[in-house]
Amino acid sequence: MSLPSALEIARALLRFRSVTPADDGALGYVGALLQGAGFVCERFSFGGIENLYARFGAAAPCLAFAGHTDVVPPGDVARWRHDPFGAEVAEGRLWGRGAADMKGGVAAALAASLTFVASGARHGSIAFLLTGDEEGAAVDGTIRLVELLRARRERIDHCVLGEPTSVEALGDTIKNGRRGSLTGRLRLIGKQGHVAYPHLADNPVRALPRALDALLAPALDAGTADFQPSNLEIVTVDVGNPATNVIPGEISAVFNIRFNDLWTPERLAAEIRRRLDATAARYELAFDACNAVAFLTARGPFTDLVSAAVADVTGRRPELSTGGGTSDARFIKDICPVVELGLLSGNMHGVDEYAGLDDLEALALIYGRILARYFAG
């Protein structure tokens, strides 16, 4: 019986309407594929979120592929040229929600692993960590699988996460780290009153420019050799005042900081408070719980191996990058070195999301070369 191609697996996955937190059978399909190839599969449900851990072999070293089968909502389906869950193939592309982010990457890893296992060229173990909670709160997915493996003292030596990392051409970029993310919620406090009697009130809007200036300047840092400068962005400002004759009593602002490895969330929070204290404004400040700290997988044999596998298939040497948003690599890095390598990222989360057919099959070949190089060495 012939093994399924990356395209065949991807089309099957796209037809599952696995919009976070729904699974709709996606992980059951993956589990059946892996179990049929000899993987030991375990399903875990945490907080209603479905997760899958699968492993072929027990010997060291263990190389894992990680990813997610949940997707963001398609939005207005009428704006799509193809059914977002129809897995249509046209114009040399596979169309559908999750084609790029990241059912295509999962499919390529599955196709490569099934082929590698069937070849008998194996030494060590291959594992899969797959979740349905990456696009959601990310509290009942990969982080829980990582906790489980640590509790069982089950070792994974290295991991490839199939997030869409390519920018202009397949394999041109590998993520070997990520910035952290910290969200702050600021409330400037004044005194409500009548606009005709400003001396009896205290308008907090007047304090807003000073507060924002303090948050934005000077820059938090100048970046490092591996990371862009940390950056703070104001994402919303709200007075909540529908009246034209009332001076508001408070104004709120929300900001998010993407920070590099010069900072911890605690030190960053202290710096923000120091800056606001200097404005003499009356304020309240709270920070959302942070589970995304900056991390780096150092350049070395593993990053060299993955880069060489890309070159084997595409002829190009990828750039190592730590830019972009967060991913589940921030949890996996607690148990092993992890890099991210996947399809083109330009249309993820958008209308008419797609993956190039050639890119999909080439990514499976790259993953196959990673397996061959990893277990040969």
φ, ψ of residue 304 in degrees (nearest 5): -65, -40
Instruction: Name the residue range of residue 248's domain.
Output: 180-287
**Do 31 and 133 lie in a common domain?**
yes
**Do 69 and 29 lie in a common domain?**
yes
**Do 100 and 224 lie in a common domain?**
no
- End-of-domain residue from the set 232, 266, 287: 287
**Do 25 and 50 lie in a common domain?**
yes
Residue 76: active-site member: no
Contacts of residue 336, defined as CB under 8 A and 6 or more positions apart, other chains included, come to 64, 155, 156, 157, 158, 159
In CATH, what number is assigned to the domain containing residue 57? 3.40.630.10
Q: How far apart are CA 377 and CA 373, in angstroms?
A: 6
Asked if the peptide bond before residue 61 counts as cis, ω within 30 degrees of 0, the response is yes
Q: What is the pLDDT of residues 41-79, one digit of tens each?
A: 999 999 999 999 999 999 999 999 999 999 999 999 999
Catalytic residue among 133, 134, 163, 359: 134
φ, ψ of residue 333 in degrees (nearest 5): -60, -15
- Asked, for residue 1, whether it belongs to a domain, the answer is no
**Do 196 and 345 lie in a common domain?**
no
**Do 173 and 212 lie in a common domain?**
no
Region class of 208: left (phi > 0), else alpha (psi between -120 and 50), else beta: alpha
**Do 102 and 144 lie in a common domain?**
yes
Q: What is the pLDDT of residues 331-351, one digit of tens each?
A: 999 999 999 999 999 999 999
**Do 256 and 327 lie in a common domain?**
no
**Do 256 and 302 lie in a common domain?**
no
**Do 219 and 79 lie in a common domain?**
no
Region 188-199 average pLDDT: 97
Q: Name the band, by pLDDT with cuts 50, 70 and 90, for residue 144.
A: very high
Q: Name the band, by pLDDT with cuts 50, 70 and 90, for residue 2.
A: confident
Catalytic residue among 23, 50, 70, 101: 70
Residue 221: active-site member: no
- HSE at residue 298, side-chain half, CA atoms within 13 A, is 2
Per the structure, the count of domains in the chain is 2
Contacts of residue 265, defined as CB under 8 A and 6 or more positions apart, other chains included, come to 180, 182, 287, 290, 293
Question: Picking from 98-102, 121-125, 136-140, 209-213, which range would have the lowest pLDDT averaged per residue?
Answer: 121-125
**Do 42 and 119 lie in a common domain?**
yes
Task: Decide: residue 236, CB within 10 A, 0-12 exposed, 13-18 middle, 19+ buried.
Answer: exposed
Asked if the peptide bond before residue 102 counts as cis, ω within 30 degrees of 0, the response is yes
pLDDT for residue 1 is more than 90? no
